[in-house]
Structure 1
Amino acid sequence: MTETDDLIEGQILLLTAAKASVPPERLPDLVDRAQTLLAPRRERYRREFERAYTDADREMFLVNWGHWDDLGEELELTERETAAVRRAHEEQVRRIGRRQDREGEFETAFEIREPVLIGR
């Protein structure tokens, strides 16, 4: 089991890979690479960004637009790969929003910020 299994659901990864033109077998590795970078920064994210959701598997932070571009550069991802990882995080948050009856709240937040999920 990878970190991705608890962070982002498999169905979300499949749909995201198809939309982002990234091979479905590649996206879990990209998400895991992002988590390897993000996990040690959890405390910094807690101090600097709004934590909009938390559960047993993950914490969701709302960050400034362009944050994923910076993370993608740091991870040496292509633009397409960065977009796929960003979209996977967004789609998982949308699913959480539907389940928690917070979809409108999260969609409004996405107008000015983007989500980052960090696994626990």
Structure 2
Amino acid sequence: MSGDPLDGNALVLAAAKASVSGEQLPKLVDDAQSRLADRRDAYRRRYECVHDDDDRTVFLVEEGHWQTLGDEWGLDDQAWRALRRAHREQLGQLAGDLDRRQEFDAALELREVVVIGTEQSVPG
């Protein structure tokens, strides 16, 4: 399953919860990553970076961010909601790995998350 920098488990969970096929979501994620990679520097200037490693950079963004991106990219509600869910699931997995679940859960009460792959993890 593609979808880097989102882990396969995050994609499976997101697909199940967002009513999007397991084949459709990785393509949506890859397309989104291609677009988000071009905005990495702008995200760094504007949003809080809560994690950065060799595979991904994680930003907290304002509520409604994914809907705005979906409108801009011409996505239907189901597609942008699936992307939002996939990024949220990735943060949830990362939170457990980093023992930061409480911190990230509190942040997501007011904000959304955007995960952008590093150059080596973004599909080319």
TM-score range, shorter-chain basis? over 0.9
Q: What is the aligned partner in structure 1 of residue 39 from structure 2?
A: 41
3-state secondary structure, aligned to 1:36 = helix
Q: What is the aligned partner in structure 2 of residue 56 from structure 1?
A: 54
Distance 2:60 2:13 in 1: 22
Conservation of the 8 A alpha-carbon contact between 1:33 and 1:75: no
Of Structure 1 and Structure 2, the greater helix share is in 1
1:43-79, Cα deviation, whole Å (9 max, x unpaired): 0000000001111100000000011001111221110
Identify unmatched segments of 5+ residues in structure 2: 119-124
Note the aligned Cα RMSD (angstroms).
1.2
Following superposition, the deviation at residue 15 of structure 1 comes to 1.6
Identify unmatched segments of 5+ residues in structure 1: none
Q: What is the aligned partner in structure 1 of residue 85 from structure 2?
A: 87
1:6-61, Cα deviation, whole Å (9 max, x unpaired): x1111221121111111110000001111111101100000000001111100000
Q: What is the aligned partner in structure 2 of residue 116 from structure 1?
A: 114
Percent of aligned positions that are identical? 49
Q: What is the aligned partner in structure 1 of residue 122 from structure 2?
A: none
Conservation of the 8 A alpha-carbon contact between 2:13 and 2:89: no
Distance 1:11 1:45 in 2: 25
Q: Runs of at least 4 residues of structure 1 off by over 3 A?
A: none
Distance 2:16 2:106 in 1: 25
3-state secondary structure, aligned to 2:38 = helix
Distance 1:119 1:65 in 2: 21
Q: What is the aligned partner in structure 1 of residue 9 from structure 2?
A: 11
Q: What is the aligned partner in structure 2 of residue 105 from structure 1?
A: 103
What TM-score comes out, normalization by structure 1 length? 0.94
Following superposition, the deviation at residue 88 of structure 1 comes to 0.3
What TM-score comes out, normalization by structure 2 length? 0.91
Distance 2:53 2:91 in 1: 12
Conservation of the 8 A alpha-carbon contact between 1:61 and 1:117: yes
